[in-house]
Structure 1
Amino acid sequence: MTHDQPEDQDALVAVVGMAGRFPGAPSVESFWENLCAGRETISALPDQADPEHPEYVPAYGVLEGAGDFDAAYFGLSAHDALITDPQQRLLLECAHEALERAGHGGPDRPVTGVFVGAGNNGYAEAVRARIDELPFLDEWRLRQATAPDFAGTRIAYHLNLTGPALTVQTACSTSLVAVHLAVQALLNGECDLALAGGASVVPYLPRMRYTPGGIVSADGHCRAFDADSDGTVGASAVGVVVLRPLSDALADGDHVHAVIRGSAVNNDGRHKAGFTAPSVVGQAEVIRAALEVAGVDPDQVGYVEAHGTGTALGDPIEVAALARAFGPGTKRHGPCLLGSVKTNIGHADAAAGVAGFIKAVLCVEHGVVPATLHYRRPNPDIDFSSVFEVSGSTRAWPTDGPRIAGVNALGVGGTNAHVVLEQAPPSETSAPVDRPQLLMVSGRTPEAADAAARRLADHLATRPQTHLADAAWTLQTGRTHHIHRRFVVAGDTQEAVSALRTGTRTARAGAPSDAEQVFLFPGQGGQHVGMTAALYDGEPAFRRHLDEVAEAVAGHVGLDLREVLYPRTEQDRPAAAEKLATIDVGQPAVFAVQYATARLLASWALRPSAVTGHSLGAYAAACVAGVFSPVDAARLVAERGRLLGTVPAGAMAAVRLPEEDVVRLLPGDVTIGAVNGPGQCTVTGPAPSVARFTEELTARGIEARVLRIATAGHSPLVEPIAGRFAEVIGTVPRERPTVPVLSDTTGSWADPEKIRTVEYWVRHLRRTVRFGEVLDVLLSTPDRVLVDVGPGRTLATLARQHPRYDGKQAVVHLAPHPAEQVSETVVLLTGVGEVWTRGARPDFAALHGHRPRRRIPLPTYPFDKRHHLVPPPPGSGAGDRPTAAAPCSTPAVFGPAPAVPRPDAGAARPVPPASGRPSVLDTVLTAFAQALGYPDIDPEDNFFDLGGDSLTATKLAAWAATTFHVPLAASDVLRSQTAAALVSLLHQRGAAPVTAQEVPAS
């Protein structure tokens, strides 16, 4: 039976994400590369050799960077990071990475459970040995930071996961049992997504002792199933996988690495020689049970990732159990290969099962079985029968048909686990997309955002066939969007790589909530034949709303606007351009594209918090704000254009002078039609007079140019049509705006009632446009996003030229200038990206037209790691150097200097000698430094940004109350948030400086 049948999928679970840290491999990809290359990554440690004690084996599967962690990313203080078990820190890091690899790293993931375990590594004892040197640390906090009980719940808390969160402890089978429990939780409906795995990380190099017949190899190599096998080698590793019901994964476009067909867990009971001994009976039963749950005949299994420790007792019993469970294999078409990852990396204890599981997943995914290292001759104590074969070289999958593998894990004490894996079903390839894509990355710091961009560029450079739309979708919906953001818009991977490496700056989102977007609608002048043609062809929402306007005004303008905007042939373009230049066609055409663009943005969940318009643009603004219905606004604009077309020939010209200077120079029949800024005016009047005035100004060296507007808008020439226009306005329903409108007539916020009146719109027709004052208002508030809806970028340019513009406000345009040879879609998506960098949250499914997209593995967050590790306890017997070769560090401690120096953070603030009386501020800063682990804390540094929490606040409050003899509660510390604010509160309550002797040690 295979999972091709839809009815089977409800009982199957997909592996949709993986992350890990292994000896010699900081990622799953490098782990697989090492396996396929036949590399042994167990480290020989000659400096650990002891001639006087040759029984100590100088070899270990070292995990580089075991003490490194990005505390700030997860909201921990340096102090908390230091005391937290490195196993739990790395589990948290890998859980985050696995979710991102699965494309579920954003906040909108399904209900997610956590099933993980960790080993006993002695870190609690190392911290406890230095508890007197670590202020504000007590036994409860130490236990909470190091006890395995909290491994699962720590992940759930920091990643905001609300499914079941369990810690599993079954010795060497821990992490495969965790996988089984996660599968059961998914099938039982307890969660919709699950993290499963384990960690075994020793912070200091252990001394592994060989004893004849024991589990430790004499020469530091694990020779599973080989005649020369004599034991295993210890290792540190971490592995986490993301699991999801197969039907959900396929429906949601997840990348499925492999499918779990079934799993089982049992215990040997007393069917063995002793508590630590393995059992053929128990192991055979769990294998048989897993195969039965999976509905798989043993003859279908092509590979088993065995526990394979290379011990004299373990390997023969494990193969005997497999043989009993599999039977004679009379229907097999090829051997069942056996392997053990322990020959590559060593025995990772609680993480051994998930390490083997990840290897097996990769085997069925790629159809390759890596070599079992050091295998030369079969162990004579093992009866491999006719079914099993150990491969000493990397081989292609040995059987035809669906690739099916088993994973075995055995724990001291008798808890056995077996999982049956099958290759993923064929996935539907996303349809090719010729539209440019919006690729976005982010970080908690600008440096992290830049690093994320480099990682993505490197990834795409080595994978040029990446489906760019799938990559965009994964980044948009499968990641947390942090405050520092970068994006590019690209049509192919090569373009994306180039832009990611060179093309964009990092922008900081103004707030974690939606950005305050103000839509700016320009007037006539930017229209041109073919404008928005790409949007009309490629965006159904845009097309639908432009069609609505075109059909509404067809009878009023005597033609179909679409034939003018988008002529069918090149021969039709000159006539279309001539019509579009007229005011009676150009004005409704501009309104049509503005309204359709605003509706397209709304379909992407990008809606304005306020609107404004320039002259004609005020009608689109009012329509978006709900004053006019779209059909009424379109017909009103068409009638306005028709009426303006009846006035005497007029013109408008831009003059780069302040208003008061222009007024002094104006001829009698020319007036100011618009003031767009302190030195930006538009004059209006009869065409000959405007042309003559422009020539005079140019001759005097003053910048002036006639605009492409064939009417004298906002001038006395329009007064004869005012009465008729008032009648037209009176026939149109007008509602209170649902969005604030900034009036270009007054330069201030429009009164919701007055904007509904006939008088308002008649005055708007005649009076000077005060857009410079509009910009005064808009640019007075930082972090606003001003969105020029277009056509063109006239209003964006005016905003950037305004003296109040200082870059704090984002100014975005959504349409290219008519002279630009650039894709309209690229410009629009660039505008969307710029709005996103300021905090907006687009509807990404709508941005993709609700087309099916797939989540694909992409680079994960670039953690900014620091070293946090206490030294081993004196006389502990641990190796002299930590497993991560980097300086040890502790937070600041009370006294003249830290007990263990932290060279990368500077010295703690010194406490003055007994003769001096340090200020309350100095004393509090010293306490903050020691409680949080950052020696040079500024009085205005935020307590929460430094990783403070309620427990730390409780400790600080108790300390301060004792030190200063004033009442203080944890809530006071939490409300104060900074040392400066807390000191102010202490002063209010009567605190006074203390002498050095009065400063308590904890």
Structure 2
Amino acid sequence: MSVQNSDRAIAVIGMACRFPGARDVDPYWSNLLEGAHFLDPLDEAGLAARGVPRDRRTGEGYVGVSGAVDGVEHFDSAFFGIAPAEADTMDPQHRLFLEEAVHALEDAGWAGRAAQRRVGVFCGSGENRYGRLLPEPDAAAGSHRRMSDGPAMLPLRVSYHLDLRGPSIFVNSLCSTGLTVVHLARQSLLAGNCDIALAGAVSVQLPHEHGYVAQESAVLSPEGTLHPFDRAASGTVPGSGVGVVVLRPLAAALRDGDRIHAVLHGTAVNNDGSDRQSFAAPSVAGQRDVILAALADAGVDPRAIGYVEAHGTGTPLGDPIELAALREARERLGVDTPCAIGAVKSSIGHLDTAAGMAGLIKAVLCVREGVIPATVNHRVPLPSAALEGSGLYVNTERRPWPDHEQPRYAAVSAFGVGGTNAHVVIGQHTPAPAPGDTDGDIPPQILPLSARTAEAFHDLRASLADALAAGPDRSCADVARTLQDGRMPRELRRAWVASTLSELAALLKDETDPVAAGPLEVAVDLGTAVRPDPSLANRVPALRAAVDHPDAAGRAFLLGLAGLGELAALGVRFTTLSAHGAGEYVAAAFAGALDHDVALRCAARYEAIRAVVQDGGDLSACEQHLAAVADDLREHPPTPAESALRSLSLGETVPAGCAPSVDHFLDVAQTSVMDGAQTTPSAGAADLMGALSSWEDWLALAAWCWERGADLDWTRLRGGSARTVDLPRYPFEARRHWAITGPAEAVAKPLASPAPAAGAEEDVLAVVMEIWRTVLGVPDVEPDADFFDLGGHSLVAAQIVARLRERFDVRIPLGDLLDAATPEGMAELVTELRASADLYSTLTESPGADTTGSFEL
């Protein structure tokens, strides 16, 4: 029962889903264990409340059952930077998938570090039924809608909004789409085309939460119940859902401490060709062969397969063929050991393109937890099944995995109309024991938390506190690593420093609002320098060399410079460096305004002068030091500073990009003789030298920088031994985005263009702002609002171009419009072009023309 191709094993490191009755993986698993199903008929009142017309719900063959998912009409458009108007018309399948892609990456512990990496996106969806029910767009919006309505836009949207740089591939093989994307994602990982892969599928049946019409001899169940592999099977029941998994080569996942739900050992995809009764009919040979191919690819002893999550549509034609294919595959391999069969469709419905994802996630949970849930609605096996002697049986009750002495393996099947068959083989992963917090010497950790809004932040903070209270089987280091790498850093942030989870739980009770990003200013005052604690010096090698410097002034200078350098290596970019006295030379050296050696000599002479003055010594020595500073600076004049330099000694600031004068640094040196009143650092400045006293103080400074917008290199800060653990996902803020009014069958009127302003002289800015409100769907627009901050992009800008042409008879190049970026800038463009109307009149097109080809997208 050994795995022959372990070098080809792919880890399932993240999962997310939204299925009927479950908004995430944990409730999905709980539902399966309870034997719950979500295909209950709706009564007359329920159907009426959902907008089903009376003549339809009382018509012949109408079945008031649907496997619906919650929240199809809701979406957190602001999280993804999508304009509300665009979100209103976006396919809800795309909206669901975007949110679950984020949750899957969070579950994998990669949401915070996936951006700009080679993360592939392989996904599929059903048809855009929503687009058919929308009002016809006006001429200006037509090109945008035609571009964005297509199903194939789904992976491209995910790659764009999450900034993923791997292959972005749309797949549709109908009912086998979910497993086909997994196969292609795995192949891409094995070929080295990407390092991580998102694989998933989504299907939303519309009209939503409505029933269907079961026609005689069709595949839909006339009774609204799905009986897999059962004598009573009369057809399938449609449902909606989305499932996403995150895949990574097993060796890389183990190396980096990823949480591994299961291991994907083998996959195969084929097609029946013409070896079937009709185009829509399945084939025993095709299904048998894809099972054999996946097992061969996995290198797993077929006797080790203890469970098969079958396609199981509950149709009189498909189910017998599927069982026959399984039986034949096992006969060819000489296998007759016990193997349970299950089919989740009887619980949640047939999810069309997403059906394979529902089955895969269920099978992953089965091998991970060692439990096989019952298959509901199966009572009497099909007479034609002929499973005697094969070892196959339909599992009808919840039971532990049959063999606890061997690793657990399972297989999943998905078969599509048109003959594309997919089969995958997965196996159990046994992780090493996780170290828990002890009473020993535990180094403190930074535990960051962020959200787009204060409300979402506090929801997440409370959820994290509850999770830590409920789950003691985590270490503080693992929680820190998961929060640091596993969550996308958002606009509002807070970070805590703690050594234990109990300490963190106490800190999470603080209801102080999070911090918005702002200018980063650090204060450098060498007069407050201390010898760093060994725990800090040992963790930051650059400080170790400074600690050993024999001269106190030199040690303080090198400590300050090393501290600033280490912060820069962590990813901190300071807007302003505030400094006093000798610290000003440290700041200047770090900002590139002074040569390091020159700055060190100036700082040492500054401190030497101070020592003479404090000891009441010969002031002529001070004059000699000042003269040496002047000579050094004139021989090595200052250069432009990369950051603003704020002199607390002189009360003046040298802007970034400017070179301080020689006299500036001479004046700083003069203050060492007569140390007058100094300017205090701004209230928002951090104390660099104070943070160098201990590791915990250093982490507090790094946390402070992160709260104000710095994106830290967490691995450099914490090391790489921690692991990903299960923590609460981001609480998306649901906002209704549903452009269909009334019953789903109704068609609304198209949105009108802004009405012309009254009077001969039009207020161009007012018209531009009204156009923005219309195409972006935002109620308030300021003259200096940023187009991109409101969710704008080139396709939305194309609508503005078209509307401006219709309104003002001007043709504005798309690039110029995007460069303008604000209503004021766009209004200025219009005004300039109207003043040159004769020049542009020959380029003006008719208002109703299709302008797609004229835009540089």
TM-score range, shorter chain: 0.7 to 0.9
Structure 1 contact 104–477 (Cα < 8 Å) conserved: yes
Post-superposition CA distance 1:478-520 (Å, at most 9, x none): 433233222222222233233234254321113xxxx554442
Counterpart among 745, 758, 768 of residue 675 in structure 2: 768
Shift of 1:336: 0.9
Structure 2 contact 740–748 (Cα < 8 Å) conserved: no
Structure 1 contact 545–596 (Cα < 8 Å) conserved: no
State the partner residue of 1:495: 503
SS at match of 1:303: strand
Distance 1:547 1:233, change over 3 A: same
State the partner residue of 2:853: none
Taking the aligned partners of 1:54 and 1:621, their CA distance within structure 2 comes to 82
Taking the aligned partners of 1:964 and 1:88, their CA distance within structure 2 comes to 35
Please tell me whether residue 859 in structure 1 is matched to residue 717 in structure 2.
no
Distance 1:351 1:640, change over 3 A: closer
Shift of 1:952: 2.8
State the partner residue of 1:475: 483
Taking the aligned partners of 1:942 and 1:752, their CA distance within structure 2 comes to 34
Shift of 1:918: 6.5
Please tell me whether residue 790 in structure 1 is matched to residue 796 in structure 2.
no
Taking the aligned partners of 2:669 and 2:821, their CA distance within structure 1 comes to 54
Structure 2 contact 17–242 (Cα < 8 Å) conserved: yes
Distance 1:203 1:215, change over 3 A: closer
SS at match of 2:59: coil
State the partner residue of 2:264: 260
Counterpart among 719, 722, 730 of residue 622 in structure 2: 722
Structure 2 contact 262–368 (Cα < 8 Å) conserved: yes
**Structure-1-length-normalised TM-score:** 0.73
State the partner residue of 1:362: 365
Structure 2 contact 114–164 (Cα < 8 Å) conserved: no
Taking the aligned partners of 1:100 and 1:457, their CA distance within structure 2 comes to 17
Aligned positions of 1:308-387 closer than 5 A: 308-327=312-331, 335-386=338-389, 387=391
State the partner residue of 1:119: 126
Shift of 1:430: 6.2
Distance 1:149 1:545, change over 3 A: same
Taking the aligned partners of 1:963 and 1:595, their CA distance within structure 2 comes to 59
Taking the aligned partners of 2:516 and 2:507, their CA distance within structure 1 comes to 19
SS at match of 2:508: helix
Taking the aligned partners of 1:79 and 1:632, their CA distance within structure 2 comes to 56
Taking the aligned partners of 1:454 and 1:891, their CA distance within structure 2 comes to 43
Equivalent AA in structure 2 for residue 414 of structure 1: G
State the partner residue of 2:21: 24
State the partner residue of 1:571: none
SS at match of 1:408: strand
Structure 1 contact 520–786 (Cα < 8 Å) conserved: no
Taking the aligned partners of 1:227 and 1:56, their CA distance within structure 2 comes to 23
State the partner residue of 2:768: 924
Higher deviation after alignment, 493-502 or 42-51: 42-51
Q: Which ranges of structure 2 fall in alignment gaps of 5 or more residues?
A: 49-55, 837-845, 850-857
Structure 1 contact 464–494 (Cα < 8 Å) conserved: no
Shift of 1:329: 8.1
Taking the aligned partners of 1:846 and 1:735, their CA distance within structure 2 comes to 35
Taking the aligned partners of 1:62 and 1:504, their CA distance within structure 2 comes to 39
Structure 2 contact 517–707 (Cα < 8 Å) conserved: yes
State the partner residue of 2:243: 239
SS at match of 1:438: strand
SS at match of 1:790: helix
Taking the aligned partners of 1:145 and 1:389, their CA distance within structure 2 comes to 46
SS at match of 2:77: coil
State the partner residue of 2:819: 975
Distance 1:63 1:644, change over 3 A: closer
Aligned positions of 1:574-589 closer than 5 A: none
Post-superposition CA distance 1:268-314 (Å, at most 9, x none): 12222222222111111110111011112221101100001122122
Aligned-pair identity (%): 36
Distance 1:605 1:214, change over 3 A: closer
Please tell me whether residue 952 in structure 1 is matched to residue 796 in structure 2.
yes
Shift of 1:636: 8.0
Equivalent AA in structure 2 for residue 176 of structure 1: L
Higher deviation after alignment, 35-44 or 961-970: 961-970
Taking the aligned partners of 2:543 and 2:773, their CA distance within structure 1 comes to 60
Taking the aligned partners of 1:728 and 1:430, their CA distance within structure 2 comes to 59
Taking the aligned partners of 2:595 and 2:191, their CA distance within structure 1 comes to 53
Higher deviation after alignment, 962-971 or 233-242: 962-971
Shift of 1:638: 11
Distance 1:745 1:120, change over 3 A: closer
Please tell me whether residue 146 in structure 1 is matched to residue 154 in structure 2.
no
State the partner residue of 1:833: 703
Distance 1:21 1:890, change over 3 A: farther
Equivalent AA in structure 1 for residue 701 of structure 2: G
State the partner residue of 1:614: 580
Shift of 1:90: 1.8
Distance 1:737 1:535, change over 3 A: farther
Structure 2 contact 126–353 (Cα < 8 Å) conserved: yes
**Structure-2-length-normalised TM-score:** 0.85
State the partner residue of 1:444: 452
Distance 1:991 1:222, change over 3 A: farther
Structure 2 contact 115–163 (Cα < 8 Å) conserved: no
Taking the aligned partners of 1:110 and 1:416, their CA distance within structure 2 comes to 31
Counterpart among 160, 164, 184 of residue 161 in structure 1: 164
Equivalent AA in structure 2 for residue 343 of structure 1: S
Counterpart among 6, 28, 32 of residue 35 in structure 1: 32
Counterpart among 713, 716, 724 of residue 843 in structure 1: 713
Please tell me whether residue 83 in structure 1 is matched to residue 80 in structure 2.
no
Shift of 1:723: 6.3
Q: Which ranges of structure 1 fall in alignment gaps of 5 or more residues?
A: 554-584, 648-710, 780-784, 792-813, 817-823, 875-879, 883-887, 896-908, 993-998
Higher deviation after alignment, 418-427 or 600-609: 600-609
Structure 1 contact 176–409 (Cα < 8 Å) conserved: yes
Aligned positions of 1:415-430 closer than 5 A: 415-427=420-432, 429=434
Taking the aligned partners of 1:12 and 1:318, their CA distance within structure 2 comes to 27
Taking the aligned partners of 1:595 and 1:829, their CA distance within structure 2 comes to 17
Equivalent AA in structure 1 for residue 189 of structure 2: L
Taking the aligned partners of 2:790 and 2:631, their CA distance within structure 1 comes to 62
Structure 2 contact 20–69 (Cα < 8 Å) conserved: yes
Distance 1:276 1:317, change over 3 A: same
Post-superposition CA distance 1:495-551 (Å, at most 9, x none): 3233234254321113xxxx5544422525x86xxx7436447635366235422xx
Shift of 1:348: 0.3
Aligned positions of 1:989-1000 closer than 5 A: 989-990=833-834
Shift of 1:608: 5.4
Taking the aligned partners of 1:761 and 1:164, their CA distance within structure 2 comes to 56
Taking the aligned partners of 1:732 and 1:982, their CA distance within structure 2 comes to 53
State the partner residue of 1:604: 570
Taking the aligned partners of 2:346 and 2:322, their CA distance within structure 1 comes to 16
Structure 2 contact 109–485 (Cα < 8 Å) conserved: yes
State the partner residue of 1:296: 300
Tell me how many residue pairs correspond in the alignment: 815
Distance 1:274 1:396, change over 3 A: same
Distance 1:72 1:216, change over 3 A: same
State the partner residue of 1:521: 525
Please tell me whether residue 465 in structure 1 is matched to residue 473 in structure 2.
yes
State the partner residue of 1:905: none
State the partner residue of 1:986: 830
Shift of 1:890: 8.3
Taking the aligned partners of 1:283 and 1:108, their CA distance within structure 2 comes to 39
Higher deviation after alignment, 246-255 or 716-725: 716-725
Equivalent AA in structure 2 for residue 117 of structure 1: G
State the partner residue of 1:273: 277
Counterpart among 889, 893, 898 of residue 751 in structure 2: 893
Structure 2 contact 434–474 (Cα < 8 Å) conserved: no
Taking the aligned partners of 2:664 and 2:780, their CA distance within structure 1 comes to 59
Higher deviation after alignment, 77-86 or 342-351: 77-86
Distance 1:149 1:516, change over 3 A: same
SS at match of 1:486: strand
Structure 2 contact 491–517 (Cα < 8 Å) conserved: yes
Equivalent AA in structure 1 for residue 492 of structure 2: H
Structure 2 contact 526–557 (Cα < 8 Å) conserved: no
Shift of 1:590: 6.1
Structure 1 contact 892–929 (Cα < 8 Å) conserved: no
Shift of 1:620: 5.4
Distance 1:640 1:145, change over 3 A: closer
Shift of 1:264: 0.7
